[in-house]
Structure 1
Amino acid sequence: MNDAHITVIGWLAEDPHYTMTTNGTPFLSLRVGCTPRRFDRQTGRWQDQTPMFLTVNCWRNLADNVNASELRRGQPVVVTGRLRIREYVKDGQFRFSPEVEATTLGHDMTRGSAHFRPVQRGGAMTDDDRLEAQQANDRWALGGPRTESGPDASQDEGSTGDPWADGSQADRGDGTPGGADQEDGGDQGDPVDLRATAA
């Protein structure tokens, strides 16, 4: 099978949305923003480029575990998974939106620390938890799916800004914002820090 596998390093643009399918399969959706950076030889500094936003979908155990974790809007994350291009219609025109079917997801440990809690399969959720999730899913279904989930929605979410872009929260400990990025660049031509890289 030919698949495009991708790794995205960025931040949560919104809190995760957890729900259940009609057959009881756990499902979680979230938006991840990432800001590519390029080295400006004239200024000698790294410059932030236009932020990009991706929808990330998690299923089954991954959805349960992400929902039980303390992942919130603005936190740095790393996502790996399969890249999908979703087609949709808006204003009578066909449009395309990139999505990631996640295989792994977690905090970016270069930005902070986290506490890992192993779970026992079958005990990750109680019946009450599943009932509550199903009721939340029913309420979401009555309201209808978001129609602004395409690329245009990214522009709206871009107003939230990259919480790590200005370097105030991205100090790697060497006294310079994004120090690791500069080390990676070296002298090999124009160094580029790709916040989303396809494998």
Structure 2
Amino acid sequence: MNEAHITVVGWVAAEPYYTVTAAGTPFLSLRVGCTPRRYDRQSGQWQDADTMFLTVNCWRGLADNVNASEFQRGHPVLVTGRLRVRQYERDGQWRFSAEVEATTVGHDLSRGTADFRPVQRGGAPTDGDRQEARDAADQWALTTPEEGPPQAA
């Protein structure tokens, strides 16, 4: 496959959003922030670069597992998956959204510990499920990283 697979090391930037689609497929979306650090030889200190925020989409068993693992804002995470860049129109302007369709998500164990419990897997998402995921992912564009997604009515 000629897809862009990436690994992201960062932290959970907002509380994860978990739902079950109309077709019954579990889905979880979370924001992950990454702040690269560079050593400045002139000042002799580490400098933070601009923070990048990505939307991470999890499906089926992975969504259930991330939800059960109680990821919270500020937790250090590792994410691997397929990079997706979507273009969409909102308020008459074209926008871009960087997303990762996750294949794995875990706590960064260089910064803490975890308690592993194995579980069972499920089936593939439908086109309707994917549309619900796009709609859910767009909610992040309406908020700042500190606010998190809008709450369901």
TM-score range, shorter chain: 0.7 to 0.9
Superimposed CA distance per residue, residues 31-61 of structure 1 (whole angstroms, 9 cap, x where no aligned partner):
0001011110111221111111000000011
SS in 2 for 1:104: strand
Q: Offset of 1:13 from its aligned partner?
A: 0.7
Where does residue 108 of structure 2 map in the other structure? Answer: 108
Instruction: Give the one of 149, 170, 173 matched to 2:140.
Output: 149
RMSD: 2.3
Question: Equivalent residues in 2 for 1:18-167 (5 A)?
Answer: 18-121=18-121, 149-150=140-141, 153=143, 156-157=144-145
| Bigger helix share | 1
Distance 1:71 1:149 in 2: 17
Is the Cα–Cα contact under 8 Å of residues 38 and 48 in structure 1 kept in the other structure? Answer: yes
Q: Return the index of the structure with the highest Cα Rg.
A: 1
Alpha carbons of structure 1 residues 20 and 159: separation in structure 2 relative to 1, 3 Å: closer
Query: Which structure has more strand as a fraction of its residues?
Result: 2
Q: Counterpart of 1:130?
A: none
Q: Which structure 2 segments of 5+ residues have no match?
A: 123-131, 149-153
Change (3 A) 1:38 1:158: farther
| Identical amino acids, percent of aligned pairs | 66
TM-score for both structures, normalised by structure 1: 0.63
User: Which one-letter code corresponds to 1:68 in the other structure?
Assistant: A
Cα 1:18–1:147 change in 2 (3 A) is closer
State the number of aligned residues: 137
The answer to whether the Cα contact below 8 Å between 1:51 and 1:158 also exists between their aligned partners in 2 is: no
Equivalent-residue separation in structure 2 for 1:11 and 1:94 (angstroms) = 28
Following TM superposition, the consecutive aligned residue runs of length 4 or more in structure 1 with deviations greater than 4 angstroms are 144-148
Scaled by the length of structure 2, the TM-score of the pair is 0.80
Alpha-carbon shift at residue 91 of structure 1 (Å): 2.6
CA drift at 1:149: 2.8
Tell me, in whole angstroms, the C-alpha distance in 1 between the residues paired with 2:139 and 2:16: 16
